[in-house]
Amino acid sequence: MKKDLVSIKDLTAKEIKEIFDLTDKLKKDAQKYSRTLSGNSLALIFQKPSNRTRVSFQVGMYQLGGYSLYLAPQEINLGVRESIRDVAKTLSRYVQAIVFRTFEHKNVTELARAADIPVINALSDFEHPCQALADIYTVREKLKRLKGLTLAFVGDGNNVCNSLLYAAAKVGLNMHVGSPAGYTPDSAVVGEAKAIARTKQAEVKVFDNPTDAVRGAHVVYTDVWTSMGQEKEAQERKKIFREFQINKNLARLAHPKALIMHCLPAHRGEEITDEMMDSPNSVIFDQAENRMHVQKAILIKLLK
């Protein structure tokens, strides 16, 4: 049966470990995998802009010997020119997998349900699973373990935060979230993550301030205050999130060697200072690079 990656919840802890172990191998010996997906084609349907996700999937597919094609919003005109279901059915006859970036999460579930081939969520308003996998992989790569460590996510309880909550819980990494009241992650997601974490002797805690979230953390993570599609709220959000900036004073409360992470794109001077972005503890661009290596592993796992 075909397998999708719509949500981190689609993966077991064992599958996540397998993806990470394969990523290690891909990073050590990329040449060995240069024909692994030869003859395979990947369609990327994007309804929002992208740098990392698009480039890392297209280059990653090329490095595996496969082909990829990018379908911009105006080309497919999804749901307007034709239905999601008909797009899924048609592309299933041409390509071996679809990478899909959209607004409403239900679009991804609908595409996955209708497609006869694997569908990978490349960001919806609810989850960003490829991002979270690359992030947790980066923590494992840098700190050599996950259990017993704490990742503090400071900012909006958004798509990236949701996927990190599920992923951290699955691998037994503790997670603290610090968000302003009204912007904490979805309570159902927090409840599910807490339940999964409990089975791994890990903890999920949500705070309404950044300091309690960051205190003692081994990883300090943030994302933009205004996600794609929320542009109208940008000015209001700048005021609401002002105290939630990752800066030297906040980072001082974390573990002295705490990794600084951001999924990018960053708004320097808003959710994170230049100083933190460019600090020796920042692994932000390694994190961006790892998107490609981890996604190569995901493609192999779903297509082979």
Residues from 65 through 124 that contact ligand CP (CB under 6 A)? 123
CB of 216 to ligand NVA, least distance (A): 26
For ligand NVA, which is the closer residue by CB, 40 or 58? 58
The item of ligand NVA, ligand CP, none sharing an interface with residue 51, based on CB under 5 to 8 Å by kind, is ligand CP
Q: Catalytic: 140?
A: no
Number of residues that bind ligand NVA (CB under 6 A): 9
CB of 72 to ligand CP, least distance (A): 14
Residues from 117 through 146 that contact ligand CP (CB under 6 A)? 123, 131
Q: Catalytic: 131?
A: yes
Spatial CA neighbour of 245 closest among 215, 267, 216: 267
Going through the chain in order, the beta strands assigned E by DSSP cover: 41-46, 67-71, 97-101, 119-121, 150-154, 174-178, 204-207, 219-222, 259-262
Residues forming a β-bridge with 42: 68, 97
**According to the binding rule CB under 6 A, does residue 52 interact with ligand CP?**
yes
SS3 272: strand
For ligand CP, which is the closer residue by CB, 52 or 105? 52
SS3 295: helix
CA 70 → CA 41, 45, 54, 166, 265, distances in Å? Answer: 11, 6, 8, 29, 20
**According to the binding rule CB under 6 A, does residue 273 interact with ligand CP?**
no
**According to the binding rule CB under 6 A, does residue 58 interact with ligand NVA?**
no
Give just the sign of the alpha carbon dihedral 184, 189, 191, 193. negative
Positions that interact with ligand NVA (CB under 6 A): 123, 158-160, 223-224, 227-228, 263
Positions that interact with ligand CP (CB under 6 A): 50-53, 123, 131, 263-265
Q: What are the catalytic residues?
A: 101, 128, 131, 223, 263, 291
